[in-house]
Amino acid sequence: MKVKEESEKADLKLSIQKTMIMASSPISSWQINGETVETVTDFIFLGYKSTTDSDFSHKIKRRLLLGKKAFRLALIQLQVSPIKSENLARACGLIREASKQGAQIVSLPECFNSPYGTKYFPEYAEKIPGDSTQKLSEVAKECNIYVIGGSIPEEDAGKLYNTCAVFGPDGTLLVKHRKLHLFDIDVPGKITFQESETLSPGDSFSVFDTPYCRVGLGICYDIRFAELAQIYAHRGCQLLVYPGAFNMTTGPAHWELLQRGRAVDNQVYVATASPARDEKASYIAWGHSTVVSPWGEVLAKAGAEETVVYADVDLKKLAEIRQQIPIFSQKRSDLYAVEAKKS
């Protein structure tokens, strides 16, 4: 029995060594059943520090890559119509198509089941769980993939939220992200919009774990707030996904710029899933769903039409970038800090 335990420890040490990535803070001890396995400094493993969990061996093997250096991400740029049932049917069909193309994580766009606009939110709002999220749960389980459900108008206790629900390969609801920063802007002569006329903001961070990496969530306007991305990176996220619907004013000016900024600043992959452009809609989405690498490269980008965008997220490349430019270990915590006031 002791020989078996020693063998398992040796295998685990090797797995940990192979999956090290540069990060900001030291790890003093890794333990199995309270016994130290190895001491490592200046490295972090996908955001997980030390643990005394009795099920550590199982969890670390599940959470770390163990040789899986890349996975396929798909973004569905859906043409949203006023008919909710059609939007749901087409979204599920495109999720199945993406799964057949090897996608392991699939994201829908912001307001995928509803036209985007304050007058539509009350009409299309649902509880979670509800019809839309039930269908997403079913298709995630059917395809055995992770589904990031863009967003839908959610009704809860008399309030409305712009909410993203994420489902795992077994159909379980993993996390529910309510848009934190409401889209209230006024660009004279171009666009005025006030989400706060009907929506309430969320008040919590949203991350979920996969066998590939930890993922952080934002919705559209959330991407403008660099602190959110920094907190996600600090918590071990290597991919940030923002379902969003930038418009014909802010889209050409800031859409790609913000994604590349968040990616480079935090050395993470950034993905944005937009609705397809509808010139007849009251709110015209920019489109151009995009995946950006930690180096700031645009790996994949859609046009304006309905389509599915694919990108292979290479975590080995992310680790190399963090090793070459070790900004996490170079931060001046004696001079500045970004503080999360809630867990």
Catalytic-role residue among 84, 176, 179, 301? 179
Active site residue 110: yes
Catalytic-role residue among 92, 110, 111, 135? 110
Catalytic-role residue among 92, 143, 164, 220? 220
Q: How far apart are CA 325 and CA 95, in angstroms?
A: 36
CA distances from 56 to 30, 36, 63, 327 (A): 9, 12, 10, 29
Residue 199 gets which letter from DSSP?
-
Token readout for 338 is 């970004």
Residue 195 gets which letter from DSSP?
G
Active site residue 59: no
Q: How far apart are CA 315 and CA 97, in angstroms?
A: 24
Give the closest residue to 62 by CA, choosing from 168, 177, 205: 168
CA torsion through residues 328, 329, 332, 334, sign: positive
Burial of 28 (0-12, 13-18, 19+ CB in 10 A): exposed
- Is the distance from CB of 12 to CB of 62 less than 8 angstroms? no
- Residue 319 sits at φ, ψ, to 5 deg, of -60, -40
Q: 10 Å Cβ neighbour count for 336? A: 7
Token readout for 143 is 């395809």
Active site residue 38: no
Q: How far apart are CA 310 and CA 100, in angstroms?
A: 12
Catalytic residues: 110, 179, 220
